[in-house]
């Protein structure tokens, strides 16, 4: 049966990262959209000092409304989980299911920095201070995301853009815990593991979400698109 997938990217990425998975799902007869959040990817010219998670939520919510998408399987990769958590609360009538892909999940009012070790937080703050614009976090090498093939690394690194630091510092403006509004699943990328997402497995277990594992790195949409498409399709 044909489905409607909305695939939301994570930090430093854009809708471009879903190209391989989107092509596979469309070839199977599904409708697929891959919006890009404000300040990233082809929208990098909109980067400002005050982009918060409310903007990312509005991006996705308006995408669902103006594309008139209903019965959607909403997929959030990594930091994109926050836009997904907010949008499903804003327009629950448009969403059938939520899938978090190797995501760091925030609860109501939480900030990403609330879950960083002092050392990691210090590194992020220093990276922001030394960035050319002083308001963003420069992208790391693709290898950090588990992209190990040289050709794939070149493809990814040519497209990564600085991430607005304000979005990482702002609280998630939701009222209900993630996974409490629509059926929710979690897909963990297991080889190699992406350290920032390790604590989420406990969250998934606590809330009883079904958890699947895929034996690839954090950017599964790049490194294992067929296997990921199979999981999403299932």
Compute the distance between CA of residue 177 and CA of residue 108 in angstroms, rounded to an integer.
Answer: 6
Compute the distance between CA of residue 47 and CA of residue 37 in angstroms, rounded to an integer.
Answer: 10
Sheet holding 95-101, edge to edge: 31-33, 4-8, 72-77, 95-101, 184-189, 211-214
Q: Which residues are catalytic?
A: 78
The full length of the chain comes to 234
**What Cα–Cα distance (Å) separates residue 131 from each residue in 48, 49, 128?**
14, 13, 5
HSE at residue 233, side-chain half, CA atoms within 13 A, is: 19
Compute the distance between CA of residue 114 and CA of residue 131 in angstroms, rounded to an integer.
Answer: 22
> How is residue 78 written in tokens?
């990594």
**Full DSSP string of 170-200:** S----SSPTTSSS-EEEEEE-SS--GGGTTH
Exposed / middle / buried, residue 202 (Cβ in 10 Å: 0-12, 13-18, 19+) = exposed
Compute the distance between CA of residue 227 and CA of residue 216 in angstroms, rounded to an integer.
Answer: 9
């Amino acid at each position: 049966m044909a489905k409607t997938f909305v695939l939301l990217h994570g930090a430093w990425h854009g809708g471009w990262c879903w190209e391989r998975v989107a092509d596979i799902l469309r070839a199977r007869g599904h409708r697929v959209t891959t919006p890009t959040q404000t300040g990233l990817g082809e929208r990098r010219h909109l980067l400002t000092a005050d982009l918060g998670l409310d903007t990312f939520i509005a991006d996705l919510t308006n995408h669902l409304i103006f594309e008139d998408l209903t019965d959607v399987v909403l997929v959030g990769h990594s930091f994109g989980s926050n836009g997904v958590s907010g949008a499903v609360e804003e327009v629950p009538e448009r969403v059938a299911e939520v899938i978090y892909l190797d995501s760091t999940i925030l609860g109501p009012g939480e900030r990403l920095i609330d879950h960083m070790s002092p050392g990691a937080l210090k590194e992020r703050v220093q990276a922001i201070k030394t960035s050319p614009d002083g308001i963003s976090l420069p992208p790391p090498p693709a290898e950090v995301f588990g992209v190990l093939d040289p050709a794939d690394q070149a493809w990814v690194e040519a497209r990564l853009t600085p991430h607005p630091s304000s979005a990482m510092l702002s609280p998630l403006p939701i009222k209900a815990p993630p996974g409490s509004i629509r059926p929710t699943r979690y897909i963990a990328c297991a080889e190699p593991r992406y350290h920032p997402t390790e604590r989420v497995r406990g969250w998934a277990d606590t809330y009883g979400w079904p958890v699947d594992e895929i034996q690839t790195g954090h950017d599964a949409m790049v490194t294992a698109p067929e296997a990921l498409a199979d999981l999403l399709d299932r």
